Structure 1
Amino acid sequence: MAADDSLLPIAILIDELKSDEPLRRLNSISRLGLIAQALGEERTRAELIPFLSDNVDDEDEVLLAQAEQLGNFVPYVGGPQYAYLLLPLLETLSTVEETVVRDKAVESLSKVGSNMPDSHTCEHFVPIIKRLGSGDWFTSRVSACGLFATAYPRCTPMLKAELRQLYSQLCRDETPMVRRAAAQKLGAFAKVVEREYVSRELMPLFTDLTQDDQDSVRLLAVESCGAFAQALGQAEATTMLLPIIHKFAQDKSWRVRYNVAQQLVQLCEVLGPDVTRIELTPNFVRLLRDSEAEVRVAAAGKVAAFSKLLTPQQIVTSVIPCVRELSMDSSQYVRAALAGVVMEMAPTLGKALTIEHLVPIFLTLLKDVYPDVRLNVISKLDQVNQVIGIDLLAQSLLPAIEELAEDKHWRVRLAIVEHIPLLASQLGAEFFQEKLGPQCMKSLEDQVASIREAGARTLQKVAGEFGAEWARDHLVPHVLGLIKNPHYLYRMTVLVALSMLATIVSQDVLCNLMLPVITTAAKDKVPNVKFNVAKIMEKLATLVPRPVLESSIRPVLLELCEDGDMDVRFYARQALYACDHGATA
């Protein structure tokens, strides 16, 4: 924006907002904050806000931007004492037909309301809730549901009673969309209402919503279970919520059961381990064996988290049989969800039970035909190693890993390469040399560029893990041996790998072993290889002594500066500049 844009007079703003081009109006609305700053607090209150209030009939995109901007407008109108001036405009926006505009307006209303003095909340904010909550159109009543939690803690006892009464009307509204909004926001409202009223007034409303004939209402009511459990306390929550949870877990709508699967762990943490083990475990097992794949996906993704609340023996008795079934489920998405978390059960089960029950399941998942399943298992291998140890991991899982390193799906091969540093750090240098090293070298000659790049990064990480001397003996010779590959793309990868190892190895190895190979590559027939040599030498200029730079690097770069390819010349000159300004003494 130009320097004088912030001084736009109100007349230009009006012209832009009245433009026939929605983009111009949107641009104007998006800089309301700058315009308000230029006008000052008094003119913003006296001119800008009234103008905006008179021009709310517009494109949804413009209204959405306006609703968003007004949520941050309190400082521009003069602070909290003038925040109430923003409420009428946001109230209007919260009644429009477009859902995203209403939602943003309610969000901004809550933001503005939370910045107002308590007296203004009672005087200005609560009347808006009452008007919206009793509006003729369902859109306004839907919006009202999202405002109660902001206003309630700051109201007088009389107003609090009125708000609770109004919320009860919304929970019993004849329009499903309103009941849905009331169910969705009831948990947030319960968090700010006094405990006696939660159990006496809100709990009956919640119970009614859980029995609503619309499954869209019931599934949103599920999301309030955790908030109610916290608001009621453990004893009351156990008495009042358990029957509802049992019923939800067997609801005729799979969407409701799906939400129960998503929320159950949170509920278990509130209700405590005893209730979880005795009352809720059968529900979880039922969800793991649900007839709908979507429910099994949600439940499978919570297996590890739920198992942490159980004893190892109970996991073996109740959960492991389900996990075994899910590892062979007909849905690939169920298997993928399970594979992403099942390894995390190992610390809870301990070594003996992991070896007996989990390792066979791991091996089944590692051989799955669906690549995402295999990827998810690989990403959590470290969880198992911490429990069962190096030797058993090597015996049982490494053959599968070696097979996956040759997988036809490139993302699986990439995942293997990226996890090698983690495995190497846990399994040790000797194991890496025998089992993982060859896979690393193969990755430098993979057909997929991302895998070749990952292979170079992996070598650098492994060298950093085991040290410069180890890298000199066990990595550098193998990498140097690949420089004669007939395909130029692979030769370029080797150069990249050498440049990364250059930061790890000693100066002696760099100057006597690696630099001669890089220098020879400067005579390659392919320009891409040559300008990569120039790039690497720019990097090496800061790593080698001045005499080596002058005798080995500078002559090569000078020769490349005369190359017939313009890119080679460009990078060579850039590297020469680095030689002159960045070399070590």
Structure 2
Amino acid sequence: MSEQIKFDVSEGAYDNDCLLLNDDHSFVETTVKCDNTEDYLKALNDVRDVAEKLGIENTRQYLIPYLTHLIVNDKITQLKDIAEILGDFECYVGGSKYVHILLLPLEELAGAKQNDVQIAAIKSLQALADIMEVSDLETYFIPLIASMTMNNKCAKRWSVCRLFTTVYMRVSPKHQGDIIDYHCFLSFDSFSSVRQDAAKCLVDLCEVVNFSTFDSKIIPRLEQFSFDQNEHIRTLALTTAISISNKFDVSYIKQIILPMILHFINDISWKIRLILLKNIAKLLTIDRSCLNLTEIILQILIVLTKDKQLEVRLQSIHILYDCTVVLFQNLTDLKAILLVTEFLIPALHNLSQDSEVTCKLEVPAVLAKFNKLIPDKLIKDYFVNFVKQLLNDTNVDVVFNVIKYMKDILGPQYSNLIVLPEYRLICCLKAFIVNDSWEIRKIGAIYLGILAIQKGIQFFEEYLEQSFLILLTDTKSTVQETTMDVFILLVTEFGMDWAQTYIVPYLINLSYSTNTYNKMAFLSFAKVCATMMCTKFRALNVNIRESEVK
């Protein structure tokens, strides 16, 4: 970052020979009398050079007021640089006792149009506040906050929100009350950007105020923001309520905090409802001993699983699993099982019957994660029926998706309780394979692999092999590549001996074919073989080296 401060030159050339900067006195006279002093400031390259030449007294008396004048009248171009420099300028004005002189130019910079200038000015004001004596804070900084709060410039009102907590803990209770009143005033500002920053600083204020002030001043503002017409402000109110919910006892949370959170269940913005949903697992960790509070939070979750917005319902499937993890971590197994069977499993069941196929497709992948978490009895009593219902779904994509995850959902001990609708699945696969759309044929190749892995080698050879060979020589290279990926999975599942006996001879014969697509299939196969051989060779190499080391 350049530390050189450039100043705009006024129209009308100035004769540089008419004034000489030979000593402090001549420069001060120039500063006071000349309208074009920015030319001389520019000539000295840096505002710190100017301060050194003038000395501490003249810097306080002339330079800082003049800089303020230039800032107010838009005469300086490098506002960000000067805002940063003024935050570390105390040694040029005589130390911490006199830094209040720097507050006025920084106040003007905090009201600049450019966001980066505002932020730089705020950081400098915070730095100066840290080195000011308490008496100076109350004499100069609090009036600065008051001036910015009541200012007509929106940017100043926006900036002052970042300063409240900077001095709150260091000033007297009277001035602490004034700061809270200033925050309250900005909370009703007509500009949403100002209200938004007032909402942002609520979390920091919660960290510094006592309980009485929090209950009487902060909570009303939080409730106000939760009904604000601006979506971003309501979002901030929600996230603030969630973040502070673990700071109080259960009775206060149930009486004051939770009602505010419950309000957002019916928020007009589905994005806010989604934020609430994503924080449900966090809310469950507030108080592990209060089962009643846990049930209330789970009821919020159940309402959100039935949300009218697809994105919310879709995310709720994953949140149900996250909440199950939290329950088993924080409660006894008996209590966790009771809540899971009462709230979470019925919600999962409803989502598996959702009107949107997207939701149904998401359920099996989440059910598969439950297998390692919940007892076998729950899998048998609940998840076997889930799988059966999904297999009877009218949408074939849902059926194949549940087949893909079936072993992970039920485990080997319960998979044999399921009878797959084989005839229906085979008919669907044949329809996919002969479809004119290559996208459908590609999906058919993926589903063929899923069914083959679930049903085994005998079923594949009897019902799927011919379809698989047809897909290997498909006219679309993308379908060929997908089928070759399926081949790799089948080799992993059925073994290399199976591939060498049934598939490899067929593919080698394709190399003699005059059909271009057959030759392409063979080349794809050769590439796969080369990759597999390289992988095995590397693994063999590693084993040999490890043996040599031992």
* Equivalent residue letter for 2:99: L
* Equivalent residue letter for 1:356: S
* Equivalent residue letter for 2:346: H
Task: Find the counterpart in structure 2 of residue 479 from structure 1.
Answer: 347
Could you tell me how far 1:376 is from its partner in structure 2?
A: 0.5
Moved more, 212-221 or 342-351: 212-221
* Equivalent residue letter for 1:267: L
Could you tell me how far 1:554 is from its partner in structure 2?
A: 9.2
Q: Does the Cα contact within 8 Å between 2:109 and 2:118 map onto a contact in 1?
A: no
Q: Does the Cα contact within 8 Å between 2:203 and 2:240 map onto a contact in 1?
A: yes
Q: 1:348 to 1:268 in 2, by over 3 A?
A: same
- Verify: 1:336 aligned to 2:196, yes or no: yes
Between the aligned partners of 1:310 and 1:342, the Cα distance in structure 2 is 19
Alignment of 1:66-81 (within 5 A): none
Question: Which residue of 384, 398, 416 corresponds with 2:276?
Answer: 416
Task: Find the counterpart in structure 2 of residue 236 from structure 1.
Answer: 94
Between the aligned partners of 2:172 and 2:450, the Cα distance in structure 1 is 64
Q: 1:448 to 1:383 in 2, by over 3 A?
A: closer
Q: 1:275 to 1:291 in 2, by over 3 A?
A: same
Could you tell me how far 1:525 is from its partner in structure 2?
A: 0.8
Alignment of 1:360-509 (within 5 A): 360-428=220-288, 430-467=291-328, 469=333, 470-475=335-340, 476-482=344-350, 483-495=352-364, 497-509=366-378
The Cα offsets for residues 103-133 of structure 1, whole Å up to 9 and x where unpaired, read as 8xx8xxx9xxxxxxxxxxxxxxxxxx9xxx9
Q: 1:173 to 1:246 in 2, by over 3 A?
A: closer
Between the aligned partners of 2:274 and 2:191, the Cα distance in structure 1 is 24
CA RMSD in angstroms, aligned pairs only: 4.6
Task: Find the counterpart in structure 2 of residue 529 from structure 1.
Answer: 398
Q: Does the Cα contact within 8 Å between 1:404 and 1:416 map onto a contact in 2?
A: yes
Task: Find the counterpart in structure 2 of residue 546 from structure 1.
Answer: 412
Q: Does the Cα contact within 8 Å between 1:444 and 1:494 map onto a contact in 2?
A: no
* Equivalent residue letter for 1:451: V
- Verify: 1:573 aligned to 2:449, yes or no: yes
Between the aligned partners of 2:225 and 2:371, the Cα distance in structure 1 is 39
Q: TM-score, normalised by structure 2?
A: 0.61
Between the aligned partners of 2:346 and 2:252, the Cα distance in structure 1 is 29
Question: Which residue of 257, 279, 285 corresponds with 2:146?
Answer: 285
Q: 1:353 to 1:492 in 2, by over 3 A?
A: same
SS at match of 1:224: helix
Could you tell me how far 1:289 is from its partner in structure 2?
A: 2.4
Gaps of 5+ in 1: 1-102, 111-128, 134-164
Q: Does the Cα contact within 8 Å between 1:563 and 1:569 map onto a contact in 2?
A: no
The Cα offsets for residues 244-269 of structure 1, whole Å up to 9 and x where unpaired, read as 31454368965599564454223212
Q: Does the Cα contact within 8 Å between 2:317 and 2:362 map onto a contact in 1?
A: yes
Question: Which residue of 51, 69, 78 corresponds with 1:211?
Answer: 69
Could you tell me how far 1:492 is from its partner in structure 2?
A: 3.7
* Equivalent residue letter for 2:402: V
SS at match of 1:379: helix
Question: Which residue of 212, 237, 245 corresponds with 2:103?
Answer: 245
Could you tell me how far 1:237 is from its partner in structure 2?
A: 3.1
Q: TM-score, normalised by structure 1?
A: 0.58
Aligned length: 410
Between the aligned partners of 2:54 and 2:153, the Cα distance in structure 1 is 38
Q: Does the Cα contact within 8 Å between 2:284 and 2:294 map onto a contact in 1?
A: no
SS at match of 1:563: helix
Q: Does the Cα contact within 8 Å between 1:495 and 1:533 map onto a contact in 2?
A: yes
The Cα offsets for residues 293-320 of structure 1, whole Å up to 9 and x where unpaired, read as 222122224434443444555322x111
Question: Which residue of 509, 516, 527 corresponds with 2:385?
Answer: 516
Between the aligned partners of 2:295 and 2:145, the Cα distance in structure 1 is 44
Q: Whose radius of gyration is greater, 1 or 2?
A: 2
* Equivalent residue letter for 2:383: M
* Equivalent residue letter for 2:300: Q
Q: 1:210 to 1:414 in 2, by over 3 A?
A: same
* Equivalent residue letter for 1:217: I
Q: 1:388 to 1:545 in 2, by over 3 A?
A: closer
Task: Find the counterpart in structure 2 of residue 17 from structure 1.
Answer: none
SS at match of 2:95: helix
* Equivalent residue letter for 1:563: C
SS at match of 2:89: helix
Could you tell me how far 1:347 is from its partner in structure 2?
A: 2.5
Percent identity (aligned):
14
* Equivalent residue letter for 2:275: A
Between the aligned partners of 1:281 and 1:419, the Cα distance in structure 2 is 37
Q: Does the Cα contact within 8 Å between 2:83 and 2:124 map onto a contact in 1?
A: yes
The Cα offsets for residues 155-186 of structure 1, whole Å up to 9 and x where unpaired, read as xxxxxxxxxx9xxx9xx997979979999x76
Q: 1:173 to 1:437 in 2, by over 3 A?
A: farther
Task: Find the counterpart in structure 1 of residue 14 from structure 2.
Answer: none
- Verify: 1:300 aligned to 2:161, yes or no: yes
